[in-house]
Amino acid sequence: MTGICFLAGRTAALIPAAGSGTRLGLGPKAFVEVAGKSLLVRSVAALAPLVDEVLVALPEGSSLPEGLPARAILGGETRQDSVRRLLQATSADVVLVHDAARPFLPAHVVHALLEAIPETGAATVALPVADTLVRGEAGRWGGLVPRESLWAVQTPQGFRRELLLRAHAAARAEGFAATDDAGLVARLGLPVTLVPGDARLFKVTTPGDLALAQALARVWDAGTDDA
């Protein structure tokens, strides 16, 4: 396999990029550009050197930019559907699922994730919560939520492919929907390793996130941050 030598077999990056970007309001989000490069191009470029193949789930009627080192498939109705289709389109032994909407992916995070996968077969990048957390009740302070032991889940998430296929099949059979893939594995009662993530891995979801991404791109593209 390419680059990483502590995992046996082939590794594929699976990039769900078929969302409509409703909260951002600029059309299909993966094609929105930050400093001249789309979120999708940035995510593929971060992963392609570290894996054997890259597969991308796209919205109907769209195609990959020319020259991008990736293969496209048609995405599904939901993120979960898109990831299931991606899983079915590869025979890799290990898969890394990464949101196109998280364009700033440091290589050291991918290395740490790949290193963590063999122990349990399932691992996700996540960040310990740093803010005070509170329940909102009708717009008022409804009570503190202790933040100790709480992590905010990011992507990439890495799995033995067979394990994630099993988790997706079980979820589909039972009509269960989760907002991420590690949650489907955890739901089977199986362990998921948490790998410390990175603040720069935020998901571009709202116009405010896009403004942050434009600012970060200036140092990221100049190579003047510490990634």
Ligand X SMILES: C[C@](O)(CO)[C@H](O)COP(=O)(O)O
Residue 212 interacting with ligand X (CB under 6 A): no
CB of 60 to ligand CTP, least distance (A): 10
Which letter does DSSP use for residue 5 in this model?
-
Residue 203 interacting with ligand CTP (CB under 6 A): yes
The verdict on whether omega for the bond into residue 156 sits within 30 degrees of 0, i.e. cis, is yes
Q: Choose which of 38, 62, 90, 155 interacts with ligand X (CB under 6 A).
A: 155
CA distances from 21 to 26, 28, 206, 208 (A): 7, 5, 9, 14
Stretch that binds ligand CTP, among 69-77, 164-172, 181-189, 193-201 (CB under 6 A): 69-77
Residues 34 and 117: beta-carbon distance below 8 Å: no
CA atoms within 13 Å, Cβ hemisphere of 19? 24
Residue 179 interacting with ligand X (CB under 6 A): yes
Distance CA 49, CA 53 (A): 9
Q: Choose which of 82, 124, 154, 157 interacts with ligand CTP (CB under 6 A).
A: 82
CB of 15 to ligand CTP, least distance (A): 7
Query: What track of x and - describes contact with ligand X for positions 81 through 120 (by CB under 6 A)?
Result: ------------------x---------------------
